[in-house]
A and B are shown apart, each in its own frame.
Chain A
Amino acid sequence: EIVLAQSPGTLSLSPGERATLSCRASQTIDSRYLAWYQQKPGQAPRLLIYGASSRTTGVADRFSGSGSGTDFTLTISRLEPEDFAVYYCHHYGSSPQTFGQGTKVEIK
């Protein structure tokens, strides 16, 4: 089973700042099958990025994904008030699929 470790656990930033979230896999994964989701309190997760770097339709271009092998990054270039949420990475290239434990982006 591929374990995804996200860091940091919590990121305290101000609106307008840049957020860099990390997802490290316990073994090399195909970047075609790495996704990022955003989850706000009381809501279902929302797909932001798939294939490590492709934005889903309707996702703002301040969100970008990158990485390969075992190291992947989600970057939010300039935080907007609605971006404060929890973010999860997800590996879906083989079974069992796995999620990272999440990174909470909170207002500083």
Chain B
Amino acid sequence: QITLKESGPTLVKPTQILTLTCSFSGFSLSTTGVGVGWIRQPPGKGLEWLGIIYWDDDKRYSPSLKGRLSITKDTSKNHVVLTLTNVDPVDTATYYCAHRGSSGSYAFDFWGQGTMVTVSS
């Protein structure tokens, strides 16, 4: 059974660094083809893809974040970490991590419950 859970601060001040952790179980991020993605959703708005890290440590990011985003993994701890620098109130959103399947479906087939982050002074 695959589960994911996001954790981190609920309130961050503008210009600070946001760090979120995705803790998962039921799969290994060292298995060929597996990935963990990050998606966010501002209050009342749609989904925005942020980035993804793959089993081989390949990483892809949304160009809209202009180099502010970094995603890393700790395979031994079953963690993926999102780091977003120089945050702004427009970064206020629910942040989700999601499992990218490695066979059949390569879409996001399992999602965390999400964590709401507010950027405000």
Interface residues of A (CB under 8 A from B): 1, 32-33, 35, 37, 39, 44-47, 50-51, 54, 56, 88, 90, 92, 95-102
Residues of B within 8 A of A56 (CB): 105, 109
Q: Is the CB of A50 within 8 A of B106?
A: yes
B67 at the binding interface (Cβ < 8 Å): no
21 pairs of residues in contact across A and B, judged by CB atoms under 8 Å = A1-B63, A33-B106, A35-B107, A35-B108, A37-B108, A39-B47, A45-B96, A47-B107, A50-B105, A50-B107, A50-B109, A88-B46, A92-B107, A92-B108, A96-B60, A96-B64, A97-B49, A97-B52, A97-B60, A98-B49, A99-B49
Complex CA–CA separation, A47 to B100 (angstroms): 11
* Interface members, chain B 49-97 (any A CB < 8 Å): 49, 52, 60-64, 96
* Contact B107 A90, beta carbon cutoff 8 Å: yes
Shortest C-beta distance, A35 to chain B (Å), equals 4
Other CB < 8 Å A-B pairs besides A47-B108, A95-B61, A96-B62, 4 of them?
A44-B113, A90-B49, A99-B39, A101-B46
State which of A1, A47, A101 has its C-beta within 8 Å of the C-beta of B109: A47
CB distance from A26 to the nearest CB of B (A): 15
Q: Name B47's contact: one of A32, A50, A88 (CB within 8 Å).
A: A88
Q: How many inter-chain contacts with C-beta < 8 Å in the A-B complex? A: 68
Query: How many residues belonging to B are interface residues under a CB distance threshold of 8 Å?
Result: 24
Q: Which residues of chain B have C-beta atoms less than 8 A from A1's C-beta?
A: 63
Q: How far is the CB of B5 from chain A (nearest CB, A)?
A: 11
> How far, in Å, is A90 (CB) from chain B's closest CB?
6
Q: Give Cα A90–Cα B46 distance, bound, in whole angstroms.
A: 12
A1 to B65 Cα, complex, angstroms: 14
Set B52, B62, B112: member contacting A44, Cβ < 8 A: B112
Closest A-chain residue to B101, C-beta based?
A50
Q: Which residues of A contact B109 (CB under 8 A)?
A: 47, 50, 56
A46: chain B residues within 8 A (beta carbon): 111
Tell which of B47, B61, B64, B111 touches A99, judged by Cβ atoms closer than 8 Å: B47
